Structure 1
Amino acid sequence: MTVIRSAGIRGLRSVVAELGGDADDLARRSGLPPEALDSDDLLVSDVAMAVLLETAAAELACPDLALRVARRQEIAMLGPLALAIRSSPTLGEALECTSRYLFVHSDVMRLTVEPDPRGARGVVALRLDMTAEGSYPVQGTDLTMAFVHRAALDLVGGPYGLRSVELPYDPPAGLAPYEELYGAPVHPGQPVARLRVVAGFAATPTVSGDEDTRRIALALLQRRGAAALTSTTALVHATLAQSIGTTRLEIGAVARLLALHPRTLQRRLAAEGTTFATVLDDVRRETARRLLTTTDLPMARVASALGLAEQAALTRAARRWWGSTPTQVRRAG
């Protein structure tokens, strides 16, 4: 069994409710815990998620269900990956980042660029592979393809050079809802799922590229690579450790890096028995010891690197942390 983050079905509950269905019951019968409908970070079976989408579409007589769900999803649901993508300077670099780190969201999903299957000059294809077996569940593929398309529009603030869409099945809802969503011709019954785009799409600048933010986000993703999804506390700790000395260490800034609302971040930390202030204090203590024992930075510079207002604040913190002054810690180190 392969797994996927429950963020993939964000928006499904509201669509099912509008159609008169019971999302919790559908989730249970499909083998998913109902809480997956309201959480982004649960690891769930990709098969169960596909069954849920197909079952909901069939029982609610809504063959374009996945397209409706996709309209309610935003790139932020990808967590730190969303931050790395958004802060990439070009669409090509955003795609490269997505291809490298998409395992954070799903361990089998792949996005690759290949030559145009129709042989058109100046056109390439963005290919989606959904499962290890090479199969394409209709609703799951619809949801993923539509999400990728809408994310590209969001990243560049408008058209990104889409020429046509290829689907590996005959859409049960007909072509009209697809062509309305994509604004381009849709070709059913193809071997694989593809978005055909102009060859120069990769050079299209994004609207929010920021190299410093991208560096922090990529460091977070590299940390997650070893252990996949981890605790919120560990993610906040890693974010602060990467950010200290470069940006303001406020919960709002960290929440934005993790694509969370500050109150959501506070609740998750509380559920793990800690607070943002506690994690920040831990990071400052670790960083202070490193700077004091491995560098000759003046005390005022050390205090500034920790985000403290003055050297006296560093002295007070050192006495609380170690019962010693910063100078004593440096000498002992």
Structure 2
Amino acid sequence: MAQQHIASSYARLLYEFLATRGVDAQALLGPLPAPASGLIPLAQWQVLLQRADSRLGEPAIGLRIAEGIGPQHFGVVGYAGRTCATLADALQRLERYQGLVYDVNPVRVRAEGNLLLLEWGTERGRPGQLVDETGVAALVQLARRICDQALLPSEVHFVNPSPADIGAYLDFFGCPVRFGQPATRLSLPLAYLQLPLQQADPALLELLDEQAEGFLRQRGHSALLHSCQQALARLLPEGRGNIGDLAGQLNRSPRTLQRHLQAEGSSFQQLLDDTRRQLAERYLSDAALPLGEIAARLGFSEQSAFSRAFRHWYGTAPLAWRRHLTRSPHAAPLDR
């Protein structure tokens, strides 16, 4: 039931792009997400992209957004990549640290003949064309920037259906682009691995690697938090979603549970909100579930309370989010 995320620094790219189009991003999307964790839910990113797409109506808008990418948008992963000696070293960092930027489907990197393949499957869901095209294009554009060369992939694959006009994709990537494929894939000439990077700095890279490793440890899955979420998922539909009920399920006192959660950098309220958000995403993907029933399953006293909470989490109403998820041509339903 783990929720999927992107880095909030990556989301900043969209706000900067809208400014170049003369659009007040905060008026359209709300304040730039800046949670203490540095992450925002994938579902929120999907909604932000869809709003920008609806407002501007530009074909292949994800490619245009990606044009402004810089290391700062990938956070420590981007800065570490920039200070590597070669593109091969930078891609090794991407493979190891991708979860700090985007933790949906992990990237698999392998050589095949004279090509290097970077592939993202669909085992943890299909985020949709807007998410996929922005992500792949951002990676290509960032590689071009840190190498200071107009790199051209050999081929690009997307899992989503083909748009009516793929001209913008061919122009951006400079190679064949195929849609409706089993996995999202970026193929690069193997020779690119030896390309030197312009701002290599071994001493700084060592510090950035240490920082990234520290972030990975912090993101390590907590057995306590997992147990709490599983218990809450059972308790909430019964209207038993307070800390006393949860502590009883885990054979602890409320005071002890709160202390253990604080040691994990969490709290009961944060845990409750996170669990409700994750369950709400799952339930809303089932079009047959009425909002009233979803509210009850999440332990809300009435549907209006659920709607207010959902707006607070994602900046949109539950029904609008469901319509986006199930009807948008750019976003396939998530396989949860």
Coarse TM-score class (shorter-chain normalised): 0.5 to 0.7
The superposition leaves residues 79-133 of structure 1 with CA deviations (integer Å, 9 ceiling, x where unpaired) of 22222111111111111111111222233352222355xxxx422322135x752
Deviation at 1:214, TM superposition (A): 0.9
Q: Which has the larger radius of gyration?
A: 1
Indicate which of 101, 104, 113 corresponds to 2:100: 104
TM-score of the two chains, using structure 1 as the length reference: 0.58
For residue 32 of structure 2, what is the aligned residue in structure 1?
Answer: 35
* Residues matched between the structures, number: 218
The superposition leaves residues 163-187 of structure 1 with CA deviations (integer Å, 9 ceiling, x where unpaired) of 1211222343621111221122212
Higher relative contact order (CA 8 A, sep 6+): 2
Q: Does 1:127 align with 2:115?
A: no
Deviation at 1:39, TM superposition (A): 8.7
The superposition leaves residues 54-84 of structure 1 with CA deviations (integer Å, 9 ceiling, x where unpaired) of 2331353234222111112212222222221
Q: Look up the SS of the partner of 1:197 in the other structure.
A: strand
Q: Look up the SS of the partner of 2:109 in the other structure.
A: strand
Deviation at 1:14, TM superposition (A): 4.5
CA distance in 2 between counterparts of 1:112 and 1:154 reads 22
Q: Map of 1:1-333 to 2, 5 A cutoff? A: 1-16=3-18, 23-24=25-26, 26-27=28-29, 34-36=31-33, 42-114=38-110, 116=112, 121-129=113-121, 133-160=124-151, 162-172=153-163, 174-228=165-219
TM-score of the two chains, using structure 2 as the length reference: 0.57
Q: Look up the SS of the partner of 1:85 in the other structure.
A: helix
Deviation at 1:159, TM superposition (A): 3.9
Cα 1:202–1:168 change in 2 (3 A) is same
Cα 1:161–1:204 change in 2 (3 A) is farther
CA distance in 1 between counterparts of 2:26 and 2:164 reads 25
For residue 236 of structure 1, what is the aligned residue in structure 2?
Answer: none
CA distance in 1 between counterparts of 2:210 and 2:17 reads 35
Cα 1:146–1:173 change in 2 (3 A) is farther
The superposition leaves residues 291-311 of structure 1 with CA deviations (integer Å, 9 ceiling, x where unpaired) of xxxxxxxxxxxxxxxxxxxxx
CA distance in 1 between counterparts of 2:70 and 2:58 reads 22
Q: Look up the SS of the partner of 2:85 in the other structure.
A: coil
The superposition leaves residues 135-176 of structure 1 with CA deviations (integer Å, 9 ceiling, x where unpaired) of 141111111000110111122221445212112223436211
CA distance in 1 between counterparts of 2:90 and 2:21 reads 35
Any conservation in 2 of the 1:91–1:205 contact (CA below 8 Å)? Answer: yes
Cα 1:41–1:77 change in 2 (3 A) is farther
Cα 1:21–1:173 change in 2 (3 A) is farther
CA distance in 2 between counterparts of 1:191 and 1:220 reads 35
Structure 1 stretches of 4+ moved >6 Å: 38-41
CA distance in 1 between counterparts of 2:127 and 2:35 reads 25
Q: Look up the SS of the partner of 2:154 in the other structure.
A: strand
Any conservation in 2 of the 1:113–1:124 contact (CA below 8 Å)? Answer: yes
Any conservation in 1 of the 2:80–2:208 contact (CA below 8 Å)? Answer: yes
Cα 1:168–1:99 change in 2 (3 A) is same
User: Any stretches of 5+ residues in structure 1 without a counterpart?
Assistant: 29-33, 230-333
Corresponding letter in the other structure for 1:165: V
Percent pairwise identity: 23
Q: Look up the SS of the partner of 1:11 in the other structure.
A: helix
Corresponding letter in the other structure for 2:58: C
Any conservation in 2 of the 1:4–1:46 contact (CA below 8 Å)? Answer: yes
Any conservation in 1 of the 2:70–2:78 contact (CA below 8 Å)? Answer: no
CA RMSD of aligned residues (A): 2.8
Cα 1:210–1:42 change in 2 (3 A) is closer
Any conservation in 2 of the 1:64–1:173 contact (CA below 8 Å)? Answer: no
The superposition leaves residues 31-50 of structure 1 with CA deviations (integer Å, 9 ceiling, x where unpaired) of xxx232x8997421111111
Any conservation in 2 of the 1:156–1:205 contact (CA below 8 Å)? Answer: yes
Any conservation in 2 of the 1:40–1:77 contact (CA below 8 Å)? Answer: no
CA distance in 1 between counterparts of 2:162 and 2:86 reads 32
